[in-house]
């Protein structure tokens, strides 16, 4: 079965609900999904699109958006989701790089796209209205599923571009089939489940996990436009599964989530950014539920997961998922010892086939034995559980010695009055880089640079102790909640210059 939609279609019942809105009113059935996706496939065919052509999509989250995604899959064309926050210059880059055959955008972005491309542009708003659904509705609801090879690209997702220009990761039908099937088993998705979905769907987390997994199981999705802690608390009793980023869980704790809210939930997962041990432990104490933390990335889908049954270790992302091999190599390229930090590499059917039109970069990021260099630093304990220490680009080299920011952040985060922290390297004429801490403190805490430094001395080696400490009201984050350390580096490098 080479086309993901063919597998999905075999799993759902046309009569069953597909999506509900925030008021738990039915939006669409699986039969509606099948009809609408066929119409989109026919629309693409009528416009002359062929297998492999790109459909660029920069629209808000809606059921119609999902119809469009599945229509691309069944037509064999490539779905190209773009972050809704991207502005004109960023859009110009993606259009030039991906060369989509058609674009489907929010109505307020229509003029921008028409300035940037001669490609046909349709509109679609958050309410499911626009020229895209208007044209779709005129098409036949009969359309066969395109024959695709597992190695054919299904989706191109652009990396965040925190270093250099964004790269388009070519995710294949085979990648999505394999990773979805593995996770469906690991997390025991059933038709009786209900997904409460508050993630964006232009990203691997919200689309491939939050949407593909329920559809693989034929279960309904409560589709929220965005995350709202109060609304999620209200709807949790109507769901069995909730997926979030760490920020969602801290906000749910602030909104006083408790065991009563979670009586019907069987699975909470967290990803896209590290989950603080404090959040993990407090959530467990309040709700009597364990958050299942996992690790994945744009290029690989999910690689590891804490087990659904068995010990879930705070601060770890669990052991490798079935079919995924992980290596952790030291500075010499040899397997790292237990609990030793090294470069994390992964191999498996979940790993993408390469970067769009960047063969040299693709070759650079794969080893001769087919392992993908994730760029993440990690360690593995005696039980096979992996801990992500940070990105290799975030490694600080001070006085010729390696400092892993995560180690320092964990120490700082445990200090009284600290909410969270980020540690970066800033230029230093003596040491090359100086360890620099940025801290978010509790409003009532009376913290100072000297207090933080003094409390860290004695618990870590002197070369790891921050040379400078700064306080902010919040850390810069991307849409998925990851701290943007590149922004912090730029900010504090300017201050030093």
Task: Please give the share of the chain, as a percent, with pLDDT higher than 70.
Answer: 98
Residues 478 and 442 both lie in one domain: yes
Is residue 203 domain-resident? yes
CA 454 – CA 331 distance, rounded (Å): 32
Using the predicted structure, report yes or no on whether residue 479 has a pLDDT greater than 80: no
Of the pLDDT bands very low, low, confident and very high (cuts 50, 70, 90), residue 401 is: confident
Give 421-453 pLDDT, tens digit per residue: 999 999 887 778 899 999 999 999 999 999 999
Could you tell me if residue 311 is inside a domain? Answer: yes
Using CA atoms, how far apart are residues 59 and 295, in angstroms rounded to an integer?
A: 27
pTM of this structure:
0.87
Confidence of residue 162 (pLDDT cuts 50, 70, 90): very low
Whether residues 387 and 399 fall in one domain: no
Return the pLDDT at 265: 98
Residue 461's CATH number: 3.30.300.30
Please report the sign of the dihedral spanned by the C-alpha atoms of residue 23, residue 25, residue 30, residue 35.
negative
Integer Cα distance of 113 and 84 in angstroms: 13
pLDDT tens profile 100-140: 999 999 999 999 999 999 999 999 999 999 999 999 999 99
Best CA proximity match to 413, nearest among 274, 304, 253: 274
Final residue belonging to a domain, choices 226, 246, 281: 226
Token pair belonging to 126: 């958050």
Q: Where among 341, 368, 391 does a domain terminate?
A: 391
pLDDT at 238: 97
Q: Is 355 left (phi over 0), alpha (psi -120 to 50) or beta?
A: beta
Question: Rounded to the nearest 10 degrees, how much is the dihedral formed by the CA atoms of 13, 16, 19, 20?
Answer: -170
Same domain, 64 and 191: yes
One domain, residues 282 and 412? no
- Residue 242 included in any domain: no
Q: Is the pLDDT of residue 181 over 70?
A: yes
Residue 255 lies in a domain: no
Q: Does one domain contain both 405 and 371?
A: no
Q: Are residues 302 and 337 in the same domain?
A: yes
Residue 273 maps to a domain: yes
408 and 336 assigned to the same domain:
no
Q: Are 344 and 492 part of one and the same domain?
A: no
Indicate whether 287 and 324 sit together in one domain.
Answer: yes
pLDDT band for position 272 (cuts 50, 70, 90)? confident
Domains in the chain, number:
3
Same domain, 130 and 215: yes
Residue 247 within any structural domain of the chain: no
Whose CA is closest to 105, among 79, 132, 78?
A: 132
Mean pLDDT, to the nearest integer, of 2-16? 97
Per the domain annotation, does 236 fall within a domain?
Answer: no
Could you tell me how far CA 43 lies from the centroid of its own chain? 30
Q: Give me the residue label for tokens 């200090």.
A: 415
pLDDT band of 332, cuts 50, 70, 90: very high
- Average pLDDT on 227-242 reads 97
The pair phi, psi for residue 36, each rounded to 5°, is -70, -40
Q: List the single range of 213-217, 233-237, 484-488 with lowest mean pLDDT.
A: 484-488
Q: Grade residue 402 by pLDDT with cuts at 50, 70 and 90.
A: confident
Residue 248 lies in a domain: no
Which CATH number goes with the domain that contains 165?
3.40.50.12780
Quote the CA–CA distance of 493 and 436 in Å, as a whole number.
11
Of the residues 369, 391, 413, the one at which a domain ends: 391
Are 318 and 190 part of one and the same domain?
Answer: no
Degrees to nearest 5, angle at CA 182 with 181 and 187:
100
Question: pLDDT tens digits for 72-85?
Answer: 999 999 999 998 88
The domain spanning residue 373 has which CATH number?
Answer: 2.30.38.10
- In three-state form (DSSP H/G/I as H, E/B as E, the rest C), the secondary structure along 408-435 is HHHHHHCCCCEEEEEEEEEEECCCEEEE
Per the structure, the complete domain to which residue 410 belongs is given by: 395-496
Structure tokens at 224: 């929220």
Q: Which two tokens stand for residue 433?
A: 């880089």
Going by pLDDT thresholds of 50, 70 and 90, the confidence category of residue 164 is low
Give the pLDDT score at 22: 96
Tell me: do 158 and 24 sit in the same domain.
yes
CA distances from 479 to 104, 222, 381, 450 (A): 21, 21, 31, 33
């Amino acid at each position: 079965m080479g086309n993901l939609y063919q597998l999905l279609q075999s799993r759902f019942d046309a009569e069953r609900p597909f999506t509900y809105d925030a008021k738990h009113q039915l939006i669409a059935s699986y039969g509606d999904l099948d009809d609408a996706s066929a119409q989109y496939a026919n629309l693409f065919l009528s416009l002359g699109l062929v297998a492999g052509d790109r459909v660029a999509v920069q629209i808000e989250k809606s059921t119609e958006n999902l119809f469009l995604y599945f229509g691309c899959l069944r037509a064999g064309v490539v779905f190209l989701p773009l972050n809704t926050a991207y502005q004109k210059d960023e859009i110009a880059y993606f259009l030039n790089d991906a060369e989509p055959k058609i674009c489907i955008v929010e109505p307020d972005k229509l003029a921008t796209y028409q300035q940037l491309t001669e490609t046909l542009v349709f509109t679609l708003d958050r309410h499911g209205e626009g020229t895209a659904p208007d044209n779709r509705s005129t098409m036949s609801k009969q359309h066969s599923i395109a024959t695709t090879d597992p190695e054919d690209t299904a989706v191109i997702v652009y990396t965040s571009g925190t270093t250099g220009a964004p790269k388009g990761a070519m995710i294949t039908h085979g990648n999505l089939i394999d990773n979805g099937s593995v996770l469906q088993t690991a997390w025991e998705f059933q038709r009786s489940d209900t997904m409460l979905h508050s993630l964006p769907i232009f990203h691997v987390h919200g689309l491939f996990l939050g949407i593909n997994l329920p559809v693989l199981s034929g279960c309904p999705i409560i589709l929220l436009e965005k995350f709202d802690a109060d609304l999620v608390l209200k709807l949790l009793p109507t769901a069995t599964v909730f997926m979030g980023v760490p920020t969602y869980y801290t906000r749910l704790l602030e909104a006083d989530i408790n065991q009563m809210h979670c009586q019907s939930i069987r699975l909470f997962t967290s990803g896209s950014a590290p989950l603080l041990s404090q959040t993990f432990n407090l959530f467990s104490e309040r709700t009597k539920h364990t958050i299942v933390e996992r690790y994945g990335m744009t290029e690989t889908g999910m690689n590891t997961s804490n087990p659904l049954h068995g010990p879930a270790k705070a601060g770890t992302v669990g052991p490798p998922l079935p079919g995924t091999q992980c290596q952790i190599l030291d500075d010499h390229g040899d397997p790292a010892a237990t609990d030793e930090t090294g470069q994390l590499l992964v191999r498996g059917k979940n790993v993408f086939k390469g970067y769009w039109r960047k063969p040299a970069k693709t070759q650079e990021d794969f080893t001769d034995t087919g392992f993908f260099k994730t760029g993440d630093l990690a360690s593995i304990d005696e039980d096979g559980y992996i801990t992500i220490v940070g990105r290799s680009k975030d490694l600080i080299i001070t006085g010729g010695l390696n400092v892993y920011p995560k180690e320092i952040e964990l120490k700082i985060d445990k200090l009284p009055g600290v909410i969270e922290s980020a540690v970066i390297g800033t230029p230093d004429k003596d040491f090359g880089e100086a360890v620099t801490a940025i801290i978010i403190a509790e409003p009532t805490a009376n913290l100072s640079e000297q207090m933080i430094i003094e409390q860290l001395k004695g618990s870590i080696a002197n070369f790891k102790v921050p040379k400078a400490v700064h306080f902010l009201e919040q850390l810069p984050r991307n849409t998925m909640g990851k701290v943007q350390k590149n922004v912090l580096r730029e900010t504090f490098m300017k201050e030093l210059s």
